A = this chain, B = another copy of it.
Amino acid sequence: MHSFTEENYLKAIYKLQEANGLVVATSALAQVLEVHAPSVTDMLKRMAGKKLVTYQKSKGVKLTEKGRQVAVGIIRNHRLWEVFLVDKLGYKWDEVHDLAEQLEHIHSEDLTNKLDMFLGFPKADPHGDPIPDANGVLPKSKAVLLSTFAEGDQGTFTGVTDHSATFLNYLDKTGFSLGDPIKVKGIEEYDQTYTLQLKGKKEVVVSFKVANSLLLSY
């Protein structure tokens, strides 16, 4: 199989490719993986040799179909284990990331599928991120940022784009909970502050930064 390191590179490339376009820069990878650029160059060469990525020197990397399959498999593992940790073991949504980073590297498709069944085939992880199916198909989410909403708009809180424990704790404390309805009562023009009505008529005021990290569906 692939080493943990390779798998982490694949995951990182996948995520950067999703977020910022087709090819991923060496420096971007170095940053998210917390290694130095020459290490990345080195690794990319080895991975290109294994046909996990296509790499042209000084031109960035892309995943091959094979690489994409592996990456999505790891993401599937990660998200299923997060569901397990929260639903079965009682962890909170801000505590599961590091553990899932370890568990995602357990190599067994069969285990993944049995876990999936045990958890009742969840469609999203505790942060609302969609779980790829056994064929590596990731449901295309149509959720949209709260920051794109206008006054009077409403939707259901279905995900976050900031997964940091600090942000998740802030949401807990403020009364946000995945699956709840949210309505925009007002937007302050001066500083883009949002006044929201949460479940149970509770009104809260949040900054643009927060509105820009919340995903809503309708």
Q: Are A99 and B89 in contact (CB under 8 A)?
A: no
Q: Are B102 and A114 in contact (CB under 8 A)?
A: no
In this assembly, does A16 line the interface, its C-beta being within 8 Å of a C-beta of chain B? no
Contact with B along A106-122 (1 / 0, CB 8 A): 11100100110010000
Q: Are A102 and B107 in contact (CB under 8 A)?
A: yes
In this assembly, does A200 line the interface, its C-beta being within 8 Å of a C-beta of chain B? no
Among residues 89 to 114 in chain A, which have CB atoms less than 8 Å away from a CB atom of chain B?
Answer: 89-91, 99, 102-103, 106-108, 111, 114
Contact of A89 among B89, B102, B107, B115 (CB under 8 A): B115
Write out the residue numbers on chain B whose beta carbons fall within 8 Å of the beta carbon of A115. 89
Q: Is the interface of A mostly helix, strand, loop or mixed?
A: helix
Q: Are B108 and A106 in contact (CB under 8 A)?
A: no
- Size category of the A interface is 10 to 19
Q: Are B99 and A106 in contact (CB under 8 A)?
A: yes
Q: Which residue of B lies closest to A106 (CB)?
A: B102
In this assembly, does A88 line the interface, its C-beta being within 8 Å of a C-beta of chain B? yes
Q: Which residue of B lies closest to A111 (CB)?
A: B99
Q: Are B103 and A89 in contact (CB under 8 A)?
A: no
Write out the residue numbers on chain B whose beta carbons fall within 8 Å of the beta carbon of A91. 114
Would you list 5 pairs from A and B whose C-beta atoms are within 8 A, ordered by A residue?
A89-B114, A89-B118, A99-B106, A99-B111, A102-B108
